[in-house]
């Protein structure tokens, strides 16, 4: 038998008590669907099943505080019916109410959807980005301090940004949305995958942020928040490493432009991945933090007014302080056809 960490056991017990009491008051399950991805014949479907007050009308809010995303009650072991391209699959949520499953189903390249339902709920659609087999180029992007300014490594401010700050107050990194749009236009059908160490709880907030600031739509790969079966908290770095390896295995013919920043561990993680999977990396683009941002993030300040190209590990690394600087380097390479 696998020994479960004490913190996970306590969390599971609390969830069980709360779920039982809320169900006794008439609360019902509902599904929060996340954007998935796939290829013709299969799809990765991601969602979460939570409890909601009976008769509650779920309205879109103009302003949403981050802490609301963490005051939810998950439904563990819920049976979810998944329909993709006429094929029906059933799967159960994990101990935190999450569903992350690979299913069969034929969808045309581009944007499709999976229909999800559970326990008499109204079916919801989960967007699916279906990557055409002929596509050979894609973009994988970090979120924090790469497309959105959060100074995540500073614990106190990170907590403020996550639990208190109004989502409309988060700032976009200058020029990055334009850079991504130009890359997508240069390579029709290019998938953009957002990879972050953030919690799934904030996926709806991040989706709205990306849309509001005109970033290309795409799957957002996040991680669970809280205790795991073997430790207090999940490793964000390991989450990124596993996600990169999984994408390389699922799309072996795609070369990815890896975009991140120098405030956390993106450079280290991307360098490891480039060494392990050189055929799956087109190049690496690093957004350099300003000296002030670098100090707050605990990184060593570097020059922020210039752009540079640095060969490393057999791959070209592009470095600049913003999207405009990165584009000035990328536009003259064979990455732009």
For the chain, domain boundaries? 6-130, 137-330
Tell the burial category of 138 from Cβ atoms under 10 Å away from its Cβ (0-12, 13-18, 19+): buried
Give tens-digit pLDDT for 143-161.
988 998 865 555 555 565 5
The CATH number of 6-130 is 2.60.40.10
Kindly tell me if the per-residue pLDDT of 135 is higher than 50: yes
Vertex 216, ends 271 and 220: CA angle to 5°? 60
Nearest-angstrom CA–CA distance, 1 and 4: 9
Q: pLDDT tier at 67 (50, 70, 90 boundaries)?
A: very low
The residue among 204 and 313 whose pLDDT is bigger is: 204
Q: CB atoms < 10 A from the CB of 315, how many?
A: 18
Only one residue has tokens 């390479």, namely 333
Q: What is the pTM of this model?
A: 0.84
Nearest-angstrom CA–CA distance, 71 and 265: 29
Q: Residue 225: which residues within 8 A CB-CB, separation 6 or more?
A: 70, 199, 200, 201, 233, 234
Residue 177 near residue 197, CB atoms below 8 Å: no
Nearest alpha-carbon partner for 73 in 181, 201, 165: 201
Query: Which two structure tokens, joined as six digits, stand for 22?
Result: 């809320």
Q: What confidence score (pLDDT) does residue 42 get?
A: 97
Q: What confidence score (pLDDT) does residue 234 get?
A: 62
Only one residue has tokens 């605990």, namely 298
Domain 137-330 bears CATH identifier 3.90.800.10: no
Vertex 224, ends 223 and 227: CA angle to 5°? 135
Intrachain domains 6-130 and 137-330 with the same fold: no
Q: What confidence score (pLDDT) does residue 147 get?
A: 94
Question: What is the chain's mean pLDDT, rounded?
Answer: 82
* pLDDT, mean of residues 117-132: 93
Nearest-angstrom CA–CA distance, 326 and 7: 43
Query: Which two structure tokens, joined as six digits, stand for 170?
Result: 């988060």
Stretch (H or E) spanning 59: none
What is the distance, to the nearest Å, from the Cα of residue 149 to the centroid of all Cα atoms in its chain? 16
The residue among 16 and 89 whose pLDDT is bigger is: 89
Query: Which two structure tokens, joined as six digits, stand for 114?
Result: 């999976």
């Amino acid at each position: 038998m696998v020994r479960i960490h004490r913190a996970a056991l306590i969390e599971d017990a609390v969830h069980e008590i709360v779920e039982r009491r809320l169900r006794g008051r008439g609360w019902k399950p509902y599904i929060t669907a996340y954007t998935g991805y796939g290829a013709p014949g299969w799809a990765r479907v991601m969602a979460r099943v939570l409890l909601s007050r009976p008769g509650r009308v779920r309205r879109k809010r103009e302003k949403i505080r981050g802490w609301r995303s963490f005051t939810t009650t998950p439904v563990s072991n819920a049976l979810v019916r998944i329909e993709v391209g006429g094929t029906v699959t059933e799967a159960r949520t994990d101990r935190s109410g999450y569903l992350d499953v690979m299913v069969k189903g034929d969808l045309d390249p581009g944007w499709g959807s999976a229909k999800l339902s559970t326990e008499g709920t109204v079916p919801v659609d989960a967007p699916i980005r279906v990557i055409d087999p002929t596509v050979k180029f894609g973009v994988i992007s970090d979120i924090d301090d790469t497309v959105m300014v959060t100074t995540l490594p500073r614990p106190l401010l990170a907590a403020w940004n996550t639990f208190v700050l109004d989502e409309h107050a988060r700032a976009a990194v200058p020029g990055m949305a334009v850079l991504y749009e130009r890359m997508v236009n240069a390579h029709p059908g290019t998938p953009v995958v957002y990879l972050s160490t953030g919690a799934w709880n904030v996926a709806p907030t991040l989706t709205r942020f990306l849309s509001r600031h005109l970033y290309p739509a795409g799957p957002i790969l996040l991680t669970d928040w809280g205790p795991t079966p073997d430790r207090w908290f999940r490793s964000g770095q390991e989450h990124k490493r596993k996600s990169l390896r999984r994408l390389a295995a699922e799309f072996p013919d795609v070369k990815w432009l890896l975009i991140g920043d120098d405030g956390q561990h993106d450079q280290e993680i991307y360098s490891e991945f480039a060494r392990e999977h050189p055929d799956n990396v087109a190049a690496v683009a690093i957004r350099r933090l300003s000296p002030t941002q670098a100090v707050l993030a605990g990184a060593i300040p570097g020059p922020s007014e210039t752009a540079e190209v640095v060969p490393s590990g057999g791959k070209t690394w592009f470095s600049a302080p913003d999207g405009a600087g990165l584009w000035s380097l990328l536009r003259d390479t064979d990455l732009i056809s």
